[in-house]
Structure 1
């Protein structure tokens, strides 16, 4: 009996060590637009895991079992005003939920523009987002993912980054490229959850705008990063969700983006709930908004 107990214990440890999630750096060596400094990433767990001062951007990959895999994947950009990342609340928790639906969930730990190690802070989040999507496309066959069914999901400021990637996926910087950089960074679909969209003074989230562009940004940069102004017919199909009582990021952000998508002939779905506030994530205990994920799954399953 003792012999079998030992074998069972060893088998359990072996299976526990075979995890479906793994972490991969986005870049080899020092990432672009970053100088070598003795800065350390910070992580604080106080109900929500808040990560700041990211120096090594990564993707954390959660793959569903092959028996239920749909071939779809979603890259997740946690929010945090471009100052921190709400890494579990708007990241790994959703990756695990997507796995249960047969969808690969991939959390992007992107660099934040307030880091002192960055040489051109405004460009860095988009650069990391482009790289993350290209890297997943590069690994698609190995990870049992359809390279034409890779979407993105962004929350709050992560929604701003996701909408920036949706409208500026082809933006190029003058830098040395590798084979992964030659792949398309265009998402196949986009999910924006209480997103920051515009940097228009009337409706923007001031903290996100300041952290990305600085105190008194050039008007041309305000226009460039007001993503409702950059939608065209090639912007991917988009699902938007917002609460009417959001006091941090006004509802108009989602409405402006939806109107731009509709005008460009892009398939879009806008869902507004009367209550939920900001940062509701799964929406548990906040009334009808808790059902938004079921609505999202219907939308994903019916994408053309």
Structure 2
């Protein structure tokens, strides 16, 4: 009996240290562009944890031990075509990998565009992304991180959201809610995994349709075609993609890299011949499995 109790205590302690805290992004009843509705959040576990119809966005904070902490943090935006969040595959698994390198990993459960529970849905993911980095920066001391070493990473449609944040961080897309919103929303660095970048010919049509709809104006297309929004203030960027990606063509990363180069922004790109789409950490592929280490090497190079 005592052994079983000890085992239970160890499991609970390990759980506490593996996942430090889940925090709401917004104060209660102050979520911008939110409309009360009968829509309910859905969690489905079928190999990958898929979350949809997010109503109350959060950050899920994973911290390394203080002895191993580098002071850097990466805010993580899982992908899913702006229809679901591949929450463990492109979220918590990434956070745990970063923890193994001494880097804080913070997963954002951001709202997905909804005609039922939101107004002006096309800006809602960006609203949550801006708030997430401001909240993390505001809690830097609590999380044992440096406020000027906070980066972001996004995968697929989450890569579109990350690149939207990286190019639209100065834009006012919601009214100030509290003192957290006085913090800067600019990432210090940005990593993009097989990202949707453009809403032009090479886009992922599902992501575009879910975010802004069909038959929209050229102006709106351009606004969310982030290769057209790069400036000299866009943060240093790491890109990873596979040439044989038939879901989000590799041209998305190539377009963004070209735009960064033209604006004099430091950029690193790793293009693999094979890997398809949605490879996550790529641990089962002999060639892809080290891309995460290459990213960490790049983060170290920025110090």
- TM-score under structure 1 normalisation? 0.95
| Correspondences of 1:1-304 after superposition (within 5 Å) | 8=6, 12=10, 15-16=13-14, 18-19=16-17, 20-30=19-29, 31-114=31-114, 116-173=116-173, 175-200=175-200, 202-304=201-303
Aligned to 2:143, the other structure's residue is in SS state coil
By how many angstroms is 1:295 displaced?
Answer: 1.0
Bigger shift: residues 237-246 or 166-175: 166-175
Q: Which runs of 5+ in 1 are unaligned?
A: none
- Is there any run of 5+ residues in structure 2 with no aligned partner, and where? none
Aligned residue for 1:190, secondary structure, equals: strand
Check whether the contact 2:35–2:116 (CA below 8 A) recurs between aligned residues: no
Instruction: Identify if the C-alpha distance between structure 1 residues 119 and 291 changes in structure 2 by more than 3 Å, giving closer, same or farther.
Output: same
Paired residues, what number? 301
Kept in 1: contact 2:61–2:104 (CA 8 A): yes
User: Structure 1 residues 289 and 178, CA, compared in 2 at 3 Å: closer, same or farther?
Assistant: same
* More displaced stretch, 254-263 vs 282-291: 282-291
Normalised to the residue count of structure 2, the TM-score between the two structures is 0.95
C-alpha separation in 1, matches of 2:111 and 2:21: 19
Displacement after TM superposition at 1:285 (Å): 2.6
More deviation in 174-183 or 37-46? Answer: 174-183
Instruction: Name the SS of the counterpart of 2:70 in structure 1.
Output: coil
Q: Which whole-Å CA distance do the structure 2 matches of 1:74 and 1:234 have between them?
A: 19
- Contact 1:79/1:157 (CA < 8 Å) preserved in 2? yes
Shift of 1:286: 2.8
1:18 Cα offset (Å): 3.4
Residues 179-220 of structure 1 show CA distances to partners (whole Å, capped at 9, x for unaligned) of: 1111100000000000000001x2111000000001221211
Q: CA RMSD in A?
A: 1.7
